[in-house]
Structure 1
Amino acid sequence: MHSPLLDHTALTGEERFALQNPQLLRVVLDGRAEVLARSGAMVAHTGRVQFTEWTPPGGRRRNRQNQQNPQQHPPGRRPAPALDLMRCAGTGTVYLANLAQHLHILELSRERLTITSSYVLALDTGIDWQAVDVEGGERISGVGRHSLELSGSGTLVVMTSGRPLVMPVRQGEYVYADADAVVGWSSALDVQLQAQSTNTEAWRRRGTATEGWELSFTGDGFVIVQPSELLAPQRVPLR
C-alpha cells in the first residue's frame, strides 16, 4: 500500500518526553520513574505499562488573603477539582493526547508557574503544586476557579487550543488578557480580575456583545494566551 498517511510512523529514541507531532506526546518509561497524565489521555502504548487512578493525599483547604496576589492554599500534591490524573508506570512507550490540542513541553527548574488545571496533560511526579484562586475568580469559569501553582524541578506538558501567544510582562507595565483565553502565567506576577464592560451582561461568560472578564498582570514575567476563548475540551464520563 502507498499513501502519505503511512509516513506518520512512530518516532524512536530514549528521550523521556518528546513530541511525536504538535498534538501527540510520546513518553518513554524505563521501569523506574512514573509519570502522571490526564485521565483518559492515553491513545496508544507499547510494552508493559500499567495505568492506575492517582489519588491525592487528603488535607484541609485553607484560604489565605492577599490583596493583589492569588489566594493560596497549603502546598502539597492536592489538585484543584478539575485535575483528574492517572499514574503511568512500567516499561514501554505511551502516547498521550487530548482532542488534538497543541502540546508544549516545559522544563521547570525551581521556577514557579501558574497554569489553569484544564490545560495540564502530563507531568513528572517530582513537580509539586498547590491550588490557587484568583481574587474574585469565583465569578467566572476556567482560570478563575481551577488554577495550579507548580514548582520544583521536572517536566510539565501543557495544552492550548491552537498556537499560543506568550506576552512578556515588565515592571511598571500592565498586560491585559481575556480571562477565558489565559492558559497560565509566571507565579510572581500580580494578578487582578476586572470587568471589561460596565454592562451587567459582562457577568455572564460569553453569549453577548461584551468581552466579559479580563485579567490584568503586572510585575516581571510572562503570560500564556491561546487563540481561543473556550476552555480546554474535557473528558466526558461514560454513563
Structure 2
Amino acid sequence: MFELENDYLLNINVNGRVWSKKGAMVAYSGDLKFKKEGTFEHGLDKFVKKAVTGESSTLMKMEGNGKVYLADYGKKVVILNLQNERIYVKGNDLLAFEDQIDWDITMMSTGVGLSSGAGLFNVKLEGTGMVAITTYFTPITLVVTPDEPVFTDPQATVAWSGGLNPSVKTDIGFKTLLGKTSGEEFQLQFQGNGFVIVQPYEEGMQY
C-alpha cells in the first residue's frame, strides 16, 4: 500500500481508510475523501492526553479508492513495515499509517523536569501494517543491546522500537563544555534490545 515515489514523496494506494498528518497531501487521483480527525473520534482518553501533553499533531483520514501523494516540507520519507510490532515516533515526524494500526500518546518516564519539546511525549504505534515517518536528511539506525546502550540528543531522535526502555539522562558537563543551555545537557538513554532512528538535525521546540 505504501511506496516511495522518491526520497521525499510517499505514494499510498488507498483502498478503504488511511490516516496521515494533516496537510501532507500534495496530489491524488481516484475517488477519495479527506476529513480532519474529529475532536473525539479516537475517544475521550486520547483527546484528554492531547490536551494535557500539548501533543498538537492533527490527523487526517483519507477514505475511498485511489492514489494519494504525501510530503512534509521536503523531509525524507522512511517506510516501516510492522509485523505485530510496536514503535514509538515523535508526533511531528509521523506522516501516515494504515487504519489497522493501533496508536496512543505516551509519556516517557523521567526523574527530571523537562518540557514536552525535549521529546518526552510521543506516539506509540502497534500492530501489523505500514507506517511512514519523516526525517531531516538521511537518518541512521543505531542498534541497542543489553551490553551496549545508546545515548541520543532528544531533538535529533525520531523513533525507536518497542523493546527498548528509554529514560532521560542529565549531563551537566555537556552544558559546561558547550557554554550554552540549548538542551545538550539532556540526553535520551536507550537500554534493552532494539533500534533507534536518529536524524542529522536538531529540531527545535515543536509542541
Question: Which category describes the TM-score, using the shorter chain as reference length?
Answer: 0.7 to 0.9
Whole-angstrom distance in 1 between the partners of 2:103 and 2:37: 15
Matching of residues 97-112 of structure 1 within 5 Å: 97-112=71-86
Equivalence for 2:30: 47
Whole-angstrom distance in 2 between the partners of 1:177 and 1:28: 35
Whole-angstrom distance in 2 between the partners of 1:48 and 1:138: 48
1:122 equivalenced with 2:96 (yes/no): yes
Q: Shift of the alpha carbon at 1:207?
A: 5.9
Structure 1 counterpart of 2:82, one-letter code: L
Q: Shift of the alpha carbon at 1:213?
A: 1.4
Q: Shift of the alpha carbon at 1:185?
A: 0.9
Equivalence for 2:8: 23
Matching of residues 79-158 of structure 1 within 5 Å: 81-136=55-110, 139-142=114-117, 144-158=119-133
Equivalence for 1:178: 153
Whole-angstrom distance in 2 between the partners of 1:217 and 1:176: 6
TM-score (norm 1): 0.74
Whole-angstrom distance in 1 between the partners of 2:203 and 2:176: 18
Q: Specify which of 37, 40, 44 is matched with residue 59 of structure 1.
A: 44
* Structure 1: gaps spanning 5 or more residues: 1-15, 62-72, 74-78, 235-239
Q: Specify which of 188, 195, 198 is matched with residue 222 of structure 1.
A: 195
Structure 2 counterpart of 1:81, one-letter code: E
Structure 2 counterpart of 1:229, one-letter code: E
Whole-angstrom distance in 2 between the partners of 1:200 and 1:156: 36
Whole-angstrom distance in 2 between the partners of 1:48 and 1:201: 58
1:13-67 Cα deviation digits (max 9, x unpaired):
xxx211111000111123xx21111100001111221101122333347xxxxxx
- Pairwise CA RMSD of aligned residues? 2.8
CA change 1:138–1:102 in 2 (3 A) is farther
Q: Which runs of 4+ in 1 moved over 6 A?
A: 199-202
Aligned length: 198
Deviates more, 1:39-48 or 1:142-151: 142-151
CA change 1:92–1:209 in 2 (3 A) is closer
Structure 1 counterpart of 2:63, one-letter code: A
Q: Shift of the alpha carbon at 1:199?
A: 7.6
Structure 1 counterpart of 2:28, one-letter code: H
Structure 2 counterpart of 1:126, one-letter code: Q
Q: Identify the structure with the greater strand proportion.
A: 2
Whole-angstrom distance in 2 between the partners of 1:27 and 1:232: 30
TM-score (norm 2): 0.84
Q: Shift of the alpha carbon at 1:198?
A: 5.0
Equivalence for 2:170: 195
Structure 2 counterpart of 1:28, one-letter code: N
